[in-house]
Amino acid sequence: MDWYRWWHGSANDPKLRMIAADCSMPLACVVGVWAYILECASGNHVRGQIDNFDYEVVSFHLGIDVETPCNAMKRRRMLHETGETLVVCNWYKWQPKRERDDVSTDRVKKFRDKQKQALTDSNANETPCNANETHVTPREEKRREDIKEVNTLVVSKLTPCPHQEIIDLYAKNLPELPQPRIWEGTRANNLKSRWSWVMANKAETKEEGLDFFDRLFAYISKSDFLMGRSSSWNCDLGWIVNATNFSKIIDGNYDNKVAA
């Protein structure tokens, strides 16, 4: 199945508007994330599931952190988790019935008969030398070239997250803060998402991406609040790479306040 149904009014769904407000994101970004999720769910071997959804790649394509709106969609019951699998809520309610009959013997037979008839009609108007050729229109050829160019760009720019190198930069700039002994699970996934955002918005190469984190950690070292110089609390790397905290740091929310 290479298509799914996008209902009229989906772009203005009140839930998507609430999620945009929850995440402080433009509605267009949230709609884009939802479209990626639906496409992934439609193309999955078990339709409606998005266990093959690649947060890093989608974050790169959209230039935003998609983990935050996805978490909001779980809270708004647009997505739900079944064990380790993420599922689109009410998938079969909103997709037409004919899409759900993929295993129907009758439907498969009709499809194959239609293919055979189309091939027969096509071959009737062709010479033997080109009877089995597949004709591609200039528009289709242009689209294939465009897709190939985009995929080449993604592969060349999307550098895997260098977790250990970033951890080393954190230790170099912030040795007085707690150092991670085990780096996995949610914290590792958060860092992976932050790295994708940096590569999509702030850097062109791995070296530039690492330089961004180097400067970020040096910037954090000047914050009395984050370093625990103004209270008994201090941040750590897991806290820093959380989507909300990361955005606040970049926005300057934790800069030292100048006394009046």
Task: For residue 160, give the DSSP letter.
Answer: P
Average pLDDT of the chain? 80
- Token pair belonging to 26: 């433009």
* pTM for the model: 0.47
For range 18-22, the mean pLDDT: 88
**How far, in Å, CA of 22 to CA of 15, rounded?**
10
- Token pair belonging to 94: 């909103």
Q: What percent of the chain has pLDDT over 90?
A: 33
Residue 196 pLDDT > 70, yes or no? yes
Q: Are 74 and 37 in contact (CB under 8 A)?
A: no
Q: What percent of the chain has pLDDT over 70?
A: 75
Boundaries of every domain in the chain = 10-94, 163-250
- Token pair belonging to 97: 């019935």
Provide the pLDDT for residue 77: 86
Provide the pLDDT for residue 112: 73
Task: For residue 221, give the DSSP letter.
Answer: T
Q: 73 exposed, middle or buried (CB, 10 Å; 0-12, 13-18, 19+)?
A: buried
Task: pLDDT band for 137, please (50, 70, 90 cuts).
Answer: low
Residue 131 pLDDT > 70, yes or no? no
Residue 64 pLDDT > 50, yes or no? yes
**How far, in Å, CA of 132 to CA of 95, rounded?**
35
Task: pLDDT band for 103, please (50, 70, 90 cuts).
Answer: very low
Q: Which residue's entry shows tokens 């914290």? A: 187
Provide the pLDDT for residue 156: 40
Q: Which residue's entry shows tokens 């909103």? A: 94
**How far, in Å, CA of 181 to CA of 187, rounded?**
12
**How far, in Å, CA of 5 to CA of 41, rounded?**
12
CATH class of the 10-94 domain in this structure: mainly alpha
Q: What is the four-CA torsion angle of 199, 205, 209, 215, rounded to 10 degrees?
A: -130
